Amino acid sequence: MSKIASEVETTAAPGKIKAPAAQGLAPRERSFAALRRPAFRAYFLTMAVAMMADNIEHVISYWVMYEKFKSPTLAGFAVLSHWLPFLFFSVYVGALADRFDCRRMIQIATLMFMGVSVGWGVLFLTDTIEIWHAAVLLVIHGFAGVLWGPPTQLLIHDLVKEEDLQSAIRLNSTSRSLGVLLGPAIGGGLMLLLGPPLGLLVNALIYLPLLLWMFRAPPRRRDAYVKGRHTGGSFSSAFAALREASANPTIFSMILLAGLSSFFVGNAFQAQMPEYAHDLGTEGAGYRYGMLLGANAAGAFAGGLILESRGLLKASPRTAIIITILWCVSVIAFAASANYALALGLMFVAGFLNLTSGAMSQTLVQMQSPPHLRGRLIGVYHMALSGMRSFSGVTVGMLGGLIGVHWSLALSAIVLMTATSFLLAFTLKTK
């Protein structure tokens, strides 16, 4: 038996990871319980501001890249470069987060984000941007994202008590959606008021609250650190962790659901949003392009609030899968839409459903992972959720350069809906 397996036997139930009944989600809980913790309130707000800065950068840089190069292939590369680091390094970063200070890892990633924003700003200001410059900045941004991912999830275990973890996990997703919601609006405003170059330079300063608060964030408990050789982050370690997690069908099915959703669709359509906006008759209106992204984020934020409301849409594998199927329907309808107002509404619905399903799956994985495997399983989940999005850059982005982004998005969503329907049938059969 592997070392990981032997540890599961000694720390969980005999030979298995705890089942949902033993380690499951509390049937009764207070609404917005985690926000009653001062440390988590500060984390919620600073994370939302940082995510807003990240999305301001996306809004401005994607728009300028489209205006200057008009290349669906470059937009597809933006997706690949952003998510491939998650595919190859998420498990390793999760293992590092088990062993080292998550606060410092988040600060390093934040400094990388700030540097990329300054880089875009300087290149746009001097009008010296070339495709290879854009490629380098996109790659650095991708590595900052993977270094940021698992530590931001693991840190919340140090900010709230165990009974508030489910609330904290959901609210963490909601804070990201709040940042995504505000980012397009403020990004569009900065483009109009200051222009793209100065807007990006100002944007670098928006990361400062999170960077500075990390010096005041509570330190991790000494007994929370994982020691020893079993913290490796290779693909073999990922498969070993998944092998043990397979004893818990909920964890395994939610990681699979995240991987399928990201592989076929993910959020690749966001990088192509300038072209959708153009086709919907919004050429030259950057704020209307931002509104499409904002509608998607508004739906996601609403989904987070509903999840956190008492007694509504409790997390379960079957519910998460059904909501993913409905998300596919909304994405197909958006791809086929030729009306701007209808497209806005469909983006809202898609954001609502995507956040609801994603927050459910992450809550189930994170709550049911044993402490000594938590960092790596969070890393595996991020590898599936974020890393597999790199392939959606091919299915939606690069394929869009051949058959058009509307067709590529619709076909990708249809394939995902079919695969997810099989997963639902399997889940119902194992009940």
The residues, any chain, with a CB within 8 Å of residue 431's CB and separated by 6 or more, are: none
Q: How much is the pLDDT for 23?
A: 42
Tell me the C-alpha distance between 166 and 151, whole Å. 17
Average pLDDT, consecutive stretches of 10 residues, N- to C-terminus, the chain (431 residues): 38 42 47 85 93 89 81 75 85 85 94 95 89 90 92 89 80 84 82 89 95 90 55 60 74 90 80 75 60 82 78 78 95 90 92 88 83 82 84 69 79 92 81 57
131, 128, 286: which is closest to 197 by C-alpha? Answer: 128
Tokens of 193: 């008021």
The Cα 157–Cα 205 span in angstroms is 28
Distance CA 154, CA 381 (A): 12
Residue 394 DSSP code = I
Gap between the Cα atoms of 376 and 353, Å rounded: 27
pLDDT at site 18: 46
In sequence order, the 6+-apart residues with CB closer than 8 A to the CB of 67 are 274
Helix axes 38-69, 286-308, angle to 10 degrees: 150
Confidence at residue 402, expressed as pLDDT on a 0 to 100 scale: 75
Residue 307 has what pLDDT?
Answer: 74
Task: Identify the structural domains of the chain with CATH numbers, from first to last.
Answer: 34-216+234-429 (1.20.1250.20)
Task: Dump the DSSP string for 154-215.
Answer: HGGGGTS-GGGHHHHHHHHHHHHHHHHHHHHHHHHHHHHHT-HHHHHHHHHHHTHHHHHHTT
3-state SS class at 405? helix
CA distance 305 to 356: 9
pLDDT at 238: 64
DSSP-assigned beta bridge partners for residue 16: 13
pLDDT of residue 389: 78
pLDDT of residue 5: 40
Phi then psi for residue 16, to 5 deg, are -140, 155
Run of H or E including 89: helix 72-99
- 34 φ/ψ angles, rounded to the nearest 5 degrees: -65, -30
Q: Is the distance from CB of 85 to CB of 143 less than 8 angstroms?
A: yes
Under 8 Å between Cβ of 61 and 140:
no
